[in-house]
Amino acid sequence: MRFLALCAGALMLSGCAGASIGGLSSDPPKEKPKSIVVGDFVFSPEVIVLDRGYTARLDRKIGQYPTFERKQRTLERVNDEIVASIVVTMREAGLEAQPGNEDGLTQGDDALLVSGKLQAGDEKAKPSTVGIGQGRGGVVADMALTYWKSGNKRKLAGFTAEPGKKAAATPAARNAAIMSIVAAAGSPTERLSPDVEAQARSLGRTIGERVLAYARDNGWVETPPEPEVKPGKPKPATSQAKPKPAPKPDADD
């Protein structure tokens, strides 16, 4: 079983933490990278991931695990949910995306690496409120985009993302695609609890859309056309009130 890093030092984002998605630390490649590789996240120690419903269902299905291993399995499962949501967002836009990491790349690969660290968005937030699941929140993702070509890499840009205020319902096809990627990563296909799943997918979707914005800015993906606005039906003319008839003269006149 793989173990995800839990300390900020495992990922060096300082070179691009101050750049916006449009601010580049180096020139982006003119041609679209052949693939986009989305790596596992680093979780800062203050980010607590809890899903007691998921661990209970997993215990019933597979068998009971020690407490420390339950926490690690939940963290890995949430990580895979976020990564899968990013990958699906990329693929829906026509980009070749997949989970992975730098270690899986070869000398001849041409790829955009997407990596990130989850941490508290507010340093003054109470530890009991920061995280994913069980009424927790306030997590942001510090992301880095790195270009890999011929065994060399250079940082392109960085940005910070946070979950949307309200997660939209996941279409059936997208849900199936996410679960397929989760299963391929080796995670249990047991669903997360609804609130945890919504947080993870919302964060992944937001990150994916920011990467897509970067790709569009650099001509790697066509910008979708503006929806055609059909002219509405003309409103019926307001009927004018008919003038009142003049009063009839009295008979004695």
Domains of the chain, each with CATH number or no CATH: 8-217 (3.40.50)
Q: CA-to-CA distance for 210 and 20, rounded, in angstroms? A: 10
**Residue 44, pLDDT score:** 95
Q: pTM of the prediction?
A: 0.79
107: tokens are 């000398």
Cβ burial, residue 29 (10 Å; 0-12/13-18/19+): middle
**Residue 59, pLDDT score:** 84
> Half-sphere exposure of residue 42, counting CA atoms within 13 Å on the CB side?
17
Which DSSP state fits 171? P
User: Could you tell me how far CA 44 lies from the centroid of its own chain?
Assistant: 18
215: tokens are 């790709």
Q: Which residue type does 111 have?
A: A
Q: Is the dihedral of CA 66, 72, 76, 79 positive or negative?
A: positive
* Close Cβ partners of 7 (under 8 Å, ≥ 6 residues apart): 42, 44, 45
Helix (H, G, I), strand (E, B) or coil at 142: strand
Q: CA-to-CA distance for 113 and 152, rounded, in angstroms? A: 12
Per-residue pLDDT 10s for the chain (253 aa) are 565 654 433 443 433 333 334 444 568 888 899 999 999 999 999 999 999 999 888 888 877 667 778 889 899 999 999 999 999 999 999 999 999 999 999 989 999 999 999 999 988 888 888 999 888 999 999 999 999 998 899 999 999 999 877 667 789 999 999 999 999 999 988 999 999 999 999 999 999 999 999 999 999 988 766 666 666 665 555 555 555 666 666 555 5
- Quote the radius of gyration of the chain (alpha carbons, Å): 26
